[in-house]
Amino acid sequence: MISLIKNKINHLAPPTHHYSSLLLLPLSSKHTSSTMAAPSSETKSPSSSNTQLPLKPIPGSYGMPFFGAISDRHNYFYHQGRDKFFATRIEKHNSTVIRTNMPPGPFISSDPRVVALLDGASFPILFDNDKVEKLNVLDGTFMPSTKFTGGFRVCAYLDTTEPNHALIKQFFLNVLAKRKDSFVPLFRNCLQESFAEIEDQLSKNTKADFNTVFSDASFNFMFRLFCDGKDPSQTNLGSKGPKLVDTWLLFQLAPLATLGLPKIFNYIEDFLIRTLPFPACLTKSGYKNLYEAFKTHATTALDEAEKLGLKRNEACHNVVFTAGFNAYGGLKNQFPYVLKWLGLSGEKLHADLAREVRRVVNDEGGVTFTALENMPLVKSVVYEVMRIEPAVPYQYARARENLVVSSHDASFEVKKGEMLFGYQPFATRDPRIFEDAEVFVPRRFVGEGEKMLKHVLWSNGRETEEPSASNKQCPGKNLVVLLCRLFLVELFLRYDTFEFEYTQAGFGPTITIKSLTKASTI
């Protein structure tokens, strides 16, 4: 996952939601005013072309070699910000499928040219593994050195046609399946520790750092999950695990970000972090500590990997990557997103959630899988957060063959080998698909609204699809949804409401808790 590092590096401009609907609207004159399924052209299989749509050349330009990519990069980071960068090109070309360059560009990326897919109709072709390949495209148009991962190309960088992909992916699916009964009690334990820490900070300072506390909770949960319940504080890591992962991620992903320095330093920053990639030796010691901790304590999981035919050391490097890069990296942003939108929605929603949570928990006799499935408002809120502000804003793939990509209004020919890039916030806030696409609607997916879940795309696949060894959908997709629901349940079992402040950075909101109101009813 790419949205990862809190306050260390961040995109200059956070998502500004009005851009997508404002500039897509002129292309959307035929949309209706009610929440409904997308037009028939959108609901077709993403790999099929719509013969009723006109076939057009892909508009846009890459500019002059080298200089065009540099210009686009400066606009993206320093002059426009990411949403405006895409929105102005949509407006200029009157198209949601365009040609552009994507960072990091020269000299780190050998070819920054992409075909950008900026609506919910064209985006899903990125999930069609018969049409596109995902070879070394996790981070876009460049790939960090494999020295960051022990010399191995871990599963996230493998294409589905590579034999090791199915083997490693099945290993993770097996690990999660065998540990499913521990998800709820283990994470509730982590949540209870985290809320106790929040309360302790509030009692001392009248404010609490939500991000740091729940980053630690995310790491602790993933470590305990893979390591048979072992608390990382009882290992060689102590309390350093999250910081070690943050540093390791920082040096891999720095070319995709900006420090947010004053404008006078923009070009200096650009030169320093995007001329040459950072060497893995800068994180060698910290990564070794992480690897040794998992190697020592994730013995049951690594035994399972060997039974499948994976080498133990390769499996361990994959575990570190999945637990650190994918899971921890995603969750440490996902919980702030949930709390941000929950807080902005106000006390009426808090009261409704508290009533639902407490009623169902009382009826079911506790927090169980069945109880969680019987909380439609809780489920809808989680899905709506993932729709309106997906934690992973980018998806990349390369065309396996000559193919046709269709937006709502036209079809476009893509040549074999061209890089496809999808900007997910524009796909999931597409006004041709969702009514009030820029508005957080807590009950959007309740009742008949569940039919719209096929347009929630946060997990490298549709929410209505399931991860398998043969696709690239996140193996922990269902676990992430479960943990977000558990977060809401634990929050409203303990509290009626809360007050908060947030500042927006490119990699997610930074949340400060100002107060917590203890639950008035149980």
Contact 223/296 with Cβ under 8 angstroms? no
**Range list of H helices, 141-265:** 163-178, 183-205, 210-226, 241-253
Give the whole-angstrom CA distance, residue 142 versus residue 164: 21
**Contact (CB, 8 A) for 273 and 27:** no
Judge contact between 46 and 124, C-beta under 8 A: yes
* Contacts made by residues 370-374, CB under 8 angstroms, sequence distance 24+: 371/489, 372/184, 372/482, 372/485, 372/486, 372/489
Task: Supply the DSSP string of 382-443, one letter for each residue.
Answer: HHHHHHHS-S--EEEEEESSSEEEE-SS-EEEE-TTPEEEEEHHHHHT-TTTSTTTTS--TT
Mapped onto helix, strand or coil, the DSSP state of residue 459 is: coil
What angle separates helix 347-364 from helix 376-388, to the nearest 10 degrees? Answer: 130
Beta strands 411-414 and 55-56, pairing class: parallel
DSSP annotation string for 219-254: HHHHHHHHTTT--GGGSTTTT-HHHHHHHHHHHHHG
Angle between helix 241-253 and helix 210-226 axes, rounded to 10 deg: 100
Q: Judge whether 3 and 329 are in contact, CB under 8 Å.
A: yes
Express the helix, strand and coil content of the chain in percent, nearest 5 each.
50, 10, 35
227 known ligand binder: no
Query: CB within 8 A of 400, min separation 6: which ones?
Result: 130, 131, 132, 133, 416
Query: Which of 438, 439, 390 is closest to 23 using CA atoms?
Result: 438
Instruction: Work out the burial of residue 365: count CB atoms within 10 Å of its CB; fewer than 13 is exposed, 13-18 middle, 19 or more buried.
Output: exposed
Phi-psi region of 36 (alpha: psi -120 to 50; beta: other; left: phi over 0): beta
User: From the annotation, which residues make up the binding site for heme?
Assistant: 474
Residues at the binding site are: 474
